[in-house]
Amino acid sequence: MHVNYWREVHTSGPGRIGLGLLLLVAIAAVLAPLLTSYQPAAYTGAPFMAPSAQHWLGTNDVGQDIWTRLLYGARTSLAVGGGVALLSLCLSVMVGCSSALLGGLYDRLMMRLVDALIVIPPVIVAILAAAYLRPNTVLLIVLLSLFLWPGGARVVRAQTLSLKERMPVYAARTFGAGQLHLLFNHIIPDLGPILIALMIQDARRAVFMEAGLSFLGICDPTVVSWGKMMQHALKFVYLDVWRWWLLPTGFALSLTVMGFTFTGFALETALNPRLRKEAGHADN
């Protein structure tokens, strides 16, 4: 009766690939200072240098080391992905669980709010918001979270509605448990795997959206970002530099997103009993 989600994920093919990719990107981000001797903003040599022993991926138009910028760009991507995942998850859980548990008018209002938010196009609003507020990473995280939580809230609410009808929850209510006790001791632990799936999905979308927004120029100008790098690189496609400037950046972004996608896919397979292979947990 217990599904070991971790085991399910890391033994399945897509799960292994996804976790491997994420691990790779994470290592790159964390160990960036060790993997390169340059600073991302420093001018390290002549512009448009081809890859060499000093500059593994050459330099860009102002002579910054592209490999270094790629590594530090991973930090931005993961920070935004992780931050958005956490923040939007918190919002999703707060709204979803409270709606399901309290019900009534509050529930209806909240769900209509969710419906309204889902139809708002994020990029347009983000551009608008950036026009009013100076864009920075934290603002970006908050903005993206505000766009991403409603979908999660729906999932959490639906699941909570089903969980709160479970016997242990009834039993806890007969001990006099309040809603908070039910939430933290019964519902959230049971939501666990779903919350992780939601986080991965949110992180994936956040990484993508962050890249997209910075490509459009909505980003903290002091921070290295893959989207911004690609946008710069695109200006020089008539030169050969795109091969070591644009291509690796796009590749890094794709790998990160794929890492999230594969992990999410593996987790979803484990969560959905209809998708789960019988052989996979027969010995469980």
Partner 1 sequence: MLTIKNLKASYNGLQILKDINLNLEKGQVLSIIGESGTGKTTLGRAVMGLLEGSCTGEILFKGKNLLTCPEEELRRIRGREIAMVFQNVEDGLHPLYSIIYQVMEAVLVHGLKDKKAAEERACEVLELVGLDNRRFLAYPHQLSGGEKQRALIALAVVNNPDILILDEPTASLDALTKAEIIAVLKRFTRETAFLVITHDISTAADLSTHMAVLYGGRIVEQGATGDVLAGPRHPYTRGLLRSYPNMSTTKDLQGIPGRMSHHVEGCPFHPRCTQRIQICAAEAPLPVVEGNRLIACHRGGIVPLLEVRCSKSFGPLKVLQDVECVLHEGETLALIGESGSGKTTLAKTIMGLLKADEEEIRLEGKKVTRRTIDFYQRVQMIFQNPGESISHRMNVLQAVKEPLDIHKTGNEEEKLERVRQVLNEVELPGDDDFLKKYPHHLSGGEAQRVAIARALVLNPKILIADESTSALDASVQAKILKLMMNLQEKRGLSILFITHDLALARKISDRLAVLLKGRIVEEGPTSEIIYHPLHPYTRALLDYAPLLEDRSVRPAGSRWARRACDNSLQAAPGLKRPPSATSKGCSYAHRCLAVKERCFEEKPELIACSPRKVACFYPQVD
166 binds partner 1 (CB under 8 A): yes
> Beta-carbon neighbour count of residue 159 at 10 Å?
18
| d(C-alpha 53, C-alpha 103), whole Å | 63
Q: Which two tokens stand for residue 140?
A: 């970006």
Report in angstroms how near the CB of residue 174 gets to partner 1 at its nearest: 5
Residue 255 touches partner 1, criterion: CB under 8 A: no
- The reply to whether 106 sits near partner 1 by the rule CB under 8 A is no
Stretch binding partner 1 (CB under 8 A), from 55-63, 68-76, 161-169, 220-228: 161-169
d(CA 55, CA 44): 9
186 to 225, contacts with partner 1 by CB under 8 A? 186, 189-190
225: three-class secondary structure by DSSP: coil
- 244: tokens are 């070591």
Tell me the two tokens of residue 5.
């989600």
Rg of the Cα atoms in the chain: 22
Question: CB of 173: closest distance to partner 1 in angstroms?
Answer: 6
C-alpha triplet 117, 112, 141: angle, nearest 5°: 30
> What is the Cα–Cα distance from 156 to 150, expressed in whole angstroms?
10
Question: Is 177 an interacting residue with respect to partner 1 (CB under 8 A)?
Answer: yes
276 is a site residue for partner 1 (CB under 8 A): no
Site for partner 1 contains 172 (CB under 8 A): yes
Question: In this structure, how many other beta carbons lie within 10 angstroms of the beta carbon of residue 249?
Answer: 26
Tell me the window of 111-119, 135-143, 165-173, 261-269 that interacts with partner 1 (CB under 8 A). 165-173
Cβ distance to partner 1 smaller for residue 127 or 172: 172
- Report if residue 7 touches partner 1, rule: CB under 8 A: no
Q: Is 174 in the site for partner 1 (CB under 8 A)?
A: yes
* Residues in contact with 171: Cβ distance below 8 Å, sequence separation at least 6, in sequence order: none
The tokens for 185 are 């001791």
Per CB under 8 A, 173 contacts partner 1: yes
User: Is 179 a residue that touches partner 1 (CB under 8 A)?
Assistant: no
| Residue 170 in contact with partner 1, rule: CB under 8 A | yes
Q: Give the interface with partner 1 as residue ranges (CB under 8 A).
A: 1-2, 166-168, 170-178, 181, 185-186, 189-190
